[in-house]
Structure 1
Amino acid sequence: MSLRAVLLDEDQLIAEKEDIDRLVQAFTHCDRFAASTPEQCATRIRFAEVVITNGTPLTREQLSQARHLRLILIGGTGYEYVDHQAASELGIALYNCREYGVDSIAQHTFALMLALTNSISQFQRTVRSQQWQQADTFCLLSEPISELKDKTLVIIGFGAIGQRVQALAQAFGMVVKLAELPGRPLRPERSALDALLPIADIVSLHCPLTDQTRTLFTAERLALMKPSAFLINTARGAIVDEQALAQALAKGRLAGAGIDVFCDEPPAPSHPLLSEALRDKVIATPHVAWGSAQARQKMVYQMVENVSHFTDGKRLRRVI
């Protein structure tokens, strides 16, 4: 089946050129744009049968004017920036990518954990600033180091990523507890989130951002955690009240946080979690947990597969 496509934001796919070329070759013709403003987007999708986007919003008005549009390909899992209700009403199929970054995100989760428990940033500065070289001992234990073994890890969100994190945690000898979100009936082997927070040494977020999970970690919920505990967020920034987290860290009510996602990305230079006062308590990375070379390649390959799924009438990875 011949299809005319438009790629609205090639730069945001963050994939190797040869992989994107493979995606483009799935179509009879594909217009490629590094980025698209809302005004440009309306014009660029007007005659397209397929739209490829990885963050460029698609509104009801834009979709209504794209009379030839049959398929939206999402370069990732989240599609909250697309008016999917409008797409459904207009008969436009929407496919996303799934579980391509499971191993990458699980690995990054532990990179953040280990950076915090092993004081990696602080020890790096110790060496770079010549403090170790000026010491009289062969080692300089100027910062705390804490083993993961026997620590209690609370996992929130037990999909493919949460399950992979559990497996890695068990390899480290950690005690893993699975949290049930507030308002949901308890399932086997899960405990209420608020009951687990007081015993958690580390809490790791792997749930999607929904109305139920938005600002799940309020100041009140953060206060339930031990002052020695760490919070890891590789899910979505808005699951955590960032101001409340910054205050908890600043006042010593929480030991540290590993953050790969923020409410607004990129965050403002004045973001409270990026303050100099919290530099030893916050390990922040720029939304890269998903981004191993292998994961990015899998994502684009899934997009190519999704074109075939659509033309063959298959619903694998179809959202609407």
Structure 2
Amino acid sequence: MKIILLDGYGLNKDLNWDLLNQLGDCTFYDRTPVDDKNEILKRIDDAEIVITHKTPLNDDVISRAPNLNYIGIMGTGYDVVDINSAHKNNVVVTNIPTYASDAVAQFTFSLLLEVTGQVGLHNRLVHDNKWSKVPDFTFWDKPLFEVKGKTLGLIGYGHIAQKVAKLGHAFSMNVIFYNHRLKNVSEKWIKQVSLDELLRQSDVISLHVIQTPETINLINKTTIAKMKSNVILLNTARGKLINEVDMANALNNNRVYALATDVVQKEPINRENPLLKAKNCYITPHIAWAPFETRERLLDITINNLKKYLAKDPINVIE
């Protein structure tokens, strides 16, 4: 059985793939050109098993891979695979729904605390000898804020958002959420609201929905106009949820206080991305998922998904 790993660089650096080698004839690629359909096809041509992280597998690819039976997505989101095409071609697709929930929730609050506490800025200023030159015991170059008492609005309420909600509650924030389906919550300190109400009430808005045709450009000039002018927006979900031109304009015109995002529409980021020149914009290179323990868990579940499939008892299947 031939197994192809299309893009394992993020995991290959410091993790051991020996267990996957034991399941078949494995070929590992650090990277596969995401825009080169012919190269993708060449690499998976006679493979029965394909594992991908960010390399797209669309209908053109899936329908022309004659031996393909299984696609394992090394992540939670599954927009990199044409699920309808996979079903049509009798290809089982699995993902890893909860491997990074704790890490991403932790990172979401890291972004918020960076915006409100300015640790990075002041650390840099101290090392640049700014503190040593002032006459006082203290100084700050940017406003600092408490999160206590602020309203945290979560768009989406899956595993990650639920963990972020608990962190917000621990920081004495008022927590509300919007979800496209009604959620039963037992906690008295959280409330489900409409999207418009969330946009209107929130001091901090955090995005936790998957990328679908309905959520692409969810944050745009129309939804921004409904927000508080001093709102902080956090995005550890998908870059395409935000219209980057509209957001850059909102930041530069003081319509939004700050954006802190771990994702952008095109990754790696394009040098012409308008967010790079926007005021109060914090961008990290898609690393919320990347702690060692999180990636180790990702690898373990990836292998277990494949083992269960081979045992004819598949789990984490995308229906």
Residue equivalent to 1:30: 26
Q: 1:5 aligns with which of 3, 13, 19?
A: 3
Larger CA deviation: 257-266 vs 71-80: 71-80
Instruction: Tell me, yes or no, if the aligned pair for 2:5 and 2:28 is still in contact at 8 Å.
Output: yes
Larger CA deviation: 133-142 vs 200-209: 133-142
Q: How does 1:81-160 map to 2 (within 5 A)?
A: 81-160=80-159
Question: What is the distance in 2 between the residues matched to 1:69 and 1:141?
Answer: 58
Question: What is the distance in 2 between the residues matched to 1:16 and 1:151?
Answer: 40
Instruction: Tell me, yes or no, if the aligned pair for 1:45 and 1:66 is still in contact at 8 Å.
Output: yes
Residue equivalent to 1:224: 226
Residue 11 of structure 2 aligns with an amino acid whose one-letter code is: I
Taking structure 1 as reference, are residues 64 and 198 closer, same or farther at Cα in structure 2, changes over 3 Å only? closer
Residue equivalent to 2:59: 60
Report the CA distance between 1:315 and its aligned residue: 3.6
Residue 222 of structure 1 aligns with an amino acid whose one-letter code is: I
Question: What is the distance in 1 between the residues matched to 2:310 and 2:147?
Answer: 48
Residue 24 of structure 1 aligns with an amino acid whose one-letter code is: N
Q: Which has the bigger relative contact order, CA under 8 A and spacing at least 6?
A: 1
SS in 2 for 1:114: helix
Report the CA distance between 1:17 and its aligned residue: 4.5
Spell out, residue by residue over 1:86-135, the C-alpha distance to the aligned partner (whole angstroms, 9 max, x if none).
22111111111111000100010011000001123432343233222111
1:245 counterpart = 2:242: no
Report the CA distance between 1:179 and its aligned residue: 1.7
Taking structure 1 as reference, are residues 155 and 6 closer, same or farther at Cα in structure 2, changes over 3 Å only? same
Taking structure 1 as reference, are residues 124 and 164 closer, same or farther at Cα in structure 2, changes over 3 Å only? same
Spell out, residue by residue over 1:285-309, the C-alpha distance to the aligned partner (whole angstroms, 9 max, x if none).
0011111111111111111111121
> Which runs of no fewer than 5 residues in structure 2 stay unpaired?
186-190
Report the CA distance between 1:235 and its aligned residue: 0.5
Taking structure 1 as reference, are residues 17 and 187 closer, same or farther at Cα in structure 2, changes over 3 Å only? closer
Question: What is the distance in 1 between the residues matched to 2:245 and 2:64?
Answer: 40
Taking structure 1 as reference, are residues 292 and 254 closer, same or farther at Cα in structure 2, changes over 3 Å only? same
Residue equivalent to 2:305: 306
Question: What is the distance in 2 between the residues matched to 1:315 and 1:4?
Answer: 18
- Alignment TM-score, normalising by the size of structure 1: 0.91
Residue equivalent to 1:14: 11
Spell out, residue by residue over 1:227-270, the C-alpha distance to the aligned partner (whole angstroms, 9 max, x if none).
22100000111111111111111111111111101011112122
Question: What is the distance in 2 between the residues matched to 1:113 and 1:101?
Answer: 18
Taking structure 1 as reference, are residues 255 and 51 closer, same or farther at Cα in structure 2, changes over 3 Å only? same
Question: What is the distance in 1 between the residues matched to 2:38 and 2:210?
Answer: 30
Question: What is the distance in 1 between the residues matched to 2:96 and 2:119?
Answer: 34
SS in 1 for 2:133: coil
Larger CA deviation: 34-43 vs 239-248: 34-43
Residue 167 of structure 1 aligns with an amino acid whose one-letter code is: K
Report the CA distance between 1:85 and its aligned residue: 1.7
Instruction: Tell me, yes or no, if the aligned pair for 1:23 and 1:300 is still in contact at 8 Å.
Output: no
Q: 2:194 aligns with which of 180, 192, 216?
A: 192
Instruction: Tell me, yes or no, if the aligned pair for 2:45 and 2:65 is still in contact at 8 Å.
Output: yes
1:286 counterpart = 2:285: yes
Larger CA deviation: 154-163 vs 67-76: 67-76
Instruction: Tell me, yes or no, if the aligned pair for 1:94 and 1:318 is still in contact at 8 Å.
Output: yes
Question: What is the distance in 2 between the residues matched to 1:227 and 1:136?
Answer: 35
Taking structure 1 as reference, are residues 310 and 265 closer, same or farther at Cα in structure 2, changes over 3 Å only? same
SS in 2 for 1:283: strand
Q: How does 1:199-214 map to 2 (within 5 A)?
A: 199-214=201-216
Question: What is the distance in 2 between the residues matched to 1:260 and 1:202?
Answer: 16
Instruction: Tell me, yes or no, if the aligned pair for 1:15 and 1:300 is still in contact at 8 Å.
Output: no
Spell out, residue by residue over 1:127-163, the C-alpha distance to the aligned partner (whole angstroms, 9 max, x if none).
2332221110011133221111111100111111000
Aligned Cα RMSD in Å? 1.9
> Which runs of no fewer than 5 residues in structure 1 stay unpaired?
none
Report the CA distance between 1:81 and its aligned residue: 2.3
Report the CA distance between 1:15 and its aligned residue: 4.5
User: Percent identity of the aligned residues?
Assistant: 32
Count the aligned residue pairs.
311
Q: How does 1:63-78 map to 2 (within 5 A)?
A: 63-78=62-77
Taking structure 1 as reference, are residues 23 and 224 closer, same or farther at Cα in structure 2, changes over 3 Å only? same
